[in-house]
Structure 1
């Protein structure tokens, strides 16, 4: 395997790091986790105890049978984040790209999808 150098920087190492960065989830600076009672329990234990689950972390939003990982997060404008997500439904092997908006709702958040679906509000987990 060839190792190419440019200005003393190993291009091989940069090439290895690039795919990991492209696949890494981006985060929203929430300052904690948010959810309903079932969602907060899920975030603590990893166990799903109810189909009413709704959980929001800095890198994903999760419901009972679906979830979206945040892949691209734009800086907040008027308290709203525009997010490019990779979403999965239960039983799907391949995710689909979705655009969603994360906005404040009182002391919590709402997640709105481009088709008008709204998840939330979710409040800060204890």
Structure 2
């Protein structure tokens, strides 16, 4: 009897939908100025000066979040919590070599994300950029 169940279980597993990765950030999110940039351009802006005429912008993807004056690289270590997605990040300011670790919380805010820092500061909501 158990031998007959094996092919059935294998078939069941093959057709079962894959579980969605709830810890991945699909696409790019930002404000109007951030969405107008490429991801590479935004990282360069945080590294060596603004690449846009805007004084400030936000651009986030699965690798990190950029502003005109800072960049936070996201770690693959992520946890779903009751209040959102918890991500370990390494952040640095423009022109600074020192890296500061933060545990950020990303909460869904309608169609976008709100990024919360441990001290209560928030960025966003960041809306999904057009493809």
Taking structure 2 as the reference length, what is the TM-score of the superposition? 0.68
Return 66-75 or 56-65, whichever deviates more: 66-75
User: Does residue 40 of structure 1 match 2:40?
Assistant: no
- Name the SS of the counterpart of 2:79 in structure 1: coil
Pair 1:85–1:45, CA change in 2 (3 A) = closer
User: Radius of gyration: which is bigger?
Assistant: 2
- Give the conservation status (yes or no) of the 8 Å contact 2:116–2:122: yes
Q: Which residue of 1 aligns with 2:17?
A: none
How far did residue 64 of structure 1 move? 1.3
Where does the alignment leave 5 or more consecutive residues of structure 2 unmatched? 1-22, 42-50
Where does the alignment leave 5 or more consecutive residues of structure 1 unmatched? 1-27
User: Does residue 54 of structure 1 match 2:54?
Assistant: no
Q: How many residues align structurally? A: 99
- Name the SS of the counterpart of 2:38 in structure 1: helix
Taking structure 1 as the reference length, what is the TM-score of the superposition? 0.71
Q: Which residue of 2 aligns with 1:111?
A: 115
Query: Over residues 64-119 of structure 1, what are the superposed CA-to-partner deviations in whole Å (9 max), with x where a residue is unaligned?
Result: 10110012432323471111110000121121111110110000001000011100
Q: Which residue of 2 aligns with 1:63?
A: 67
